[in-house]
Each structure stands twice: as structure tokens, then as C-alpha cells.
Chain A
């Protein structure tokens, strides 16, 4: 399956404020002002605490495959947002947005207790949660 890494949007999302995330860690390692879109194949899903991790293979701009790891919130919170453990499975074709790591590693955060970015699995979108600022910030 042809996969593409689409650096579609180095979108400035400053409206998502400085620290939109909240879980058991902050967002210090991620560039929260940037969202990129990945297209590829899911290789593994860790549906576990403290955070769900979705592993996917996606090609970069030079057609090299990169092994991405996308962090989401914890299983219980994701269930309350409408996801289930079967929402994403190994072998699925995935289009996913993520805030990439600042250091350029193929790691990103795609969801926390306050937002979930766009995920389209085999053509079907999953529930998205907009980046509502935390109540005290």
C-alpha cells in the first residue's frame, strides 16, 4: 500500500494555547504550534495506561518509511470520548494528525484529556475533540 507522509500543515495553532494538554505529563517534548498529517499503515496499538500509543509506518518526503509512534490519552478517557479498543487495529489504513516532537523524532501527541486530533481509519473518521482550553488557563 502506497503511503505518504503529508506535511500538509505546519499549521500555527496558537489558539490551542500554550499548554492544552493534561494527563500525567505535559507537552514539553512536542511542538504544539504545529500539526502534521500522516498517511500510512498501523503496525501496532498499545491500548494501555498511562497513554495509548499507536504505531504506524508512513513515508516521508523522500519516500523513506518512518516508524511513527502517536500518543493519545489513557484508555478510560478515550472511551469517554467515544473510542474503543477496536477503533484502530494493526493493518488499518490510517490518516492521522499529530503534534510532532520538537527534536524531530517520529513521535507525536494526537490527543490528551482536552483534545483529540483527526483520525481516519480505513476511510471512517473517529471522534474528534476540539482543543478547548483547560478551565483554569
Chain B
């Protein structure tokens, strides 16, 4: 299994290496800004990390999403939340308007930590790659540079990173507003700014401390934590296929919300 993993990472490193030029060019054209610089210590964050089921909401005092309106929402944010028909939490429904579930839209960087699948971290000196088996999403974190100016708004945003002792700090801006923060429908705007602090608590445990700031959606920032366990399973594949999702919706979920009963 270890050989398979090493081989997988080598192949991946070659593949993603071809793509590394894009963010590098972007950085060269940006106006220089102060960038956090890494400490000399580089922690080993490698491994396949399993996301535990149940991290439904990023509200640190309500992870199950039983009180979704208790986050410090602005009127704009509250209106968005109330319009959401989410698949989990106090308002959970089998008739959701969740853009990911309904249309296989990308769920966004933060919801990737909510689905019960694995991710792995590939560290190189210039970039960090977060590779998720769910949807085979891969994120690039460019090390030790500032965010470019005039970013496009994208599904994953622009991530820059640096090390602080044993912690990898990932700062991300440049999101679009088409995703939710979590599975209970907490909204965000294109002013979303996230800071992820990843550190290895011990050989088998990775901790994420996440700070969410979005002045359009929330009156102040908030911070939440999750941990992930080292997995012995190799990375696998779980895709979102619109045809498969629609078939499941039709054959299973729609039948449970229709009335009268048996068909």
C-alpha cells in the first residue's frame, strides 16, 4: 500500500507540475504586497486524512446545525440563509435547493471538509496541493507570496500559504458567491476571506482551525475547529455525476416527498 501511495504521489507531482506555471505567472504580474513568510521548519502533513461524518455546520457552538440563524449574520446573510433549503440541519429537506446536490455545482472549499471522504496533502517548496477524493477536487496553495490584485471570483478562490512553526497557514480570497459555507446553507459573498491553519496534533491526527470573515454576510468573523484521522485506505474515487444524481433524486428522494404514499 505504501508503494502504491508513493507511486500515486510521484505521478501526481509530475502532473500538477505542468500546471504550476499559471499561479507563478499570476504572481509575477501582481503588484507586490506584503506576504507572510514561512518559518524554516516545514512540518510533515502527508497522509490520507479521513473526514469524519457529522461536521454539518461551521458554527463552532452548533456543529449539527440545529440553530443555523445564531451565527452573526447581516441582514443580507440572513435573507440568503432563509432562502436556502438545505439537506442537513434544522431545516433539512429532501427537496433542497442546494446547488451542489441539485446541479453538481462545486461545493466550495469549506464544504469539502464536510463530506465523509479522504483528502491528502502534497507539499512541495513552492506549492501545496490539497487533493480530495470526493469529486477529485485539487486545490493549489502557493507559498510565500501575496494575493494578486484584481482577482477573478472563482469557485476555489486564490490560496496563499506559509508555515508558522508546525502549522500550515492558508489564506484564501477571490471566491464567487455561488457556494455555501456548509451543509445547513450558511451563505457567503464574494467578500469571503478564510484562514485555514492545519497542524498535525500527533501522527494520526490533523487539526484544522478555520477562521471565516465575510463583512457582507457576517457582522464579525468566527473560528471553528475540526480534526481528521489518518486513514489506511488508499485514495479512491467518488464523483458527482449530474445524470446519476438526477436519477437518484427521481427514484428515491422525490418519492419520499410526494403524496399520497406508495407507488
Number of A-B residue pairs at CB separation under 8 A: 117
A134 contacts B257, C-beta separation under 8 Å: no
User: Do the beta carbons of B262 and A105 come within 8 Å of each other?
Assistant: yes
User: In the docked arrangement, what's the CA distance between A136 and B237, Å?
Assistant: 26
In the complex, the answer to whether A50 meets B261 with C-beta atoms within 8 Å is no
Please, how many angstroms separate the alpha-carbon atoms of A19 and B255 in the complex?
Answer: 20
Asked whether, in the complex, the Cβ of B53 is within 8 Å of the Cβ of A80, the reply is no
Q: How far is the CA of A1 from the CA of B255 in the complex (A)?
A: 28
Chain A residues, Cβ within 8 Å of B53 = 22, 112-114, 134-135
Measured between beta carbons, the chain B residues less than 8 angstroms from A53 are: 248, 251-252
Question: Can you list, as one digit per residue, whether each of B122-134 has a CB less than 8 Å from chain A (1) or not (0)?
Answer: 0000000000010
Please tell me if the beta carbons of B255 and A107 are within 8 angstroms of each other in the complex: yes
Q: Does B221 contact A (CB under 8 A)?
A: no
B112 to chain A, nearest CB (A): 12
Q: How far is the CB of B227 from chain A (nearest CB, A)?
A: 9
Question: Chain A contacts of B100 at CB under 8 A?
Answer: 24
Contacts of A101 in B (CB 8 A): 255-256, 261
Tell me if B236 counts as interface (CB < 8 A to partner A).
yes
Partner of A24, one of B64, B115, B236, B262: B115
Is the pair B262, A104 in contact by a Cβ cutoff of 8 Å?
yes
Q: Is the CB–CB distance between B101 and A105 below 8 Å?
A: no
Does A103 contact B261, Cβ atoms closer than 8 Å?
yes
Bitwise interface map of B from 65 to 99 toward A, beta carbon under 8 Å scored 1, else 0: 00000000000000000000001110011101000
User: Is A23 in contact with B116, judged by CB distance below 8 angstroms?
Assistant: yes
Which B residues are CB-close (under 8 A) to A137?
54, 56, 63-64
B54 x A135 contact (CB < 8 A): yes
- A26: B residues at CB distance < 8 A: 87-89, 92-94
- The answer to whether A76 touches B54, judged by C-beta atoms less than 8 angstroms apart, is no
A103 CB contact (under 8 Å) in B96, B115, B244, B256: B256
A6 to B161, CA, bound (A): 58
Quick one: CB contact mask for A51-92 with B, threshold 8 Å, 1 for yes?
101000000000000100101001111011000000000000
B251 lies within 8 A of A69 (CB): yes
Chain B at the A interface: SS class:
loop
Given contacts A76-B238, A105-B256, contact A28 B248 (CB under 8 A): no
Given contacts A66-B262, A136-B54, contact A30 B63 (CB under 8 A): no
Interface size on A, residues (CB 8 A): 39
The tally of residues in B whose CB lies under 8 Å from a CB in A reads 42
B-chain residues with CB within 8 Å of residue A24 when the two chains form the complex:
87, 100-101, 115
Chain B residues in 8 Å Cβ range of A74: 238
CA distance A48 to B258 in the complex (A): 24
Interchain CB contact under 8 A, B256 and A22: no
Q: Are the CB atoms of A77 and B116 closer together than 8 Å?
A: yes
Contacts of B253 in A (CB 8 A): 25, 29
Where the two chains meet, the residues of A that have a C-beta atom closer than 8 Å to any C-beta of B are 19, 22-30, 48-51, 53, 66, 69, 71, 74-77, 79-80, 101-107, 112-114, 133-137
Which 4 residue pairs of A and B lie closest in terms of their CB atoms, listed nearest first? A134-B54, A104-B261, A29-B256, A136-B63
23 pairs, A vs B, C-beta closer than 8 Å = A22-B88, A24-B101, A25-B88, A26-B89, A26-B94, A29-B257, A30-B256, A49-B240, A51-B248, A76-B117, A76-B237, A101-B256, A102-B256, A103-B259, A103-B260, A104-B260, A105-B258, A105-B261, A105-B262, A107-B256, A113-B53, A137-B54, A137-B64
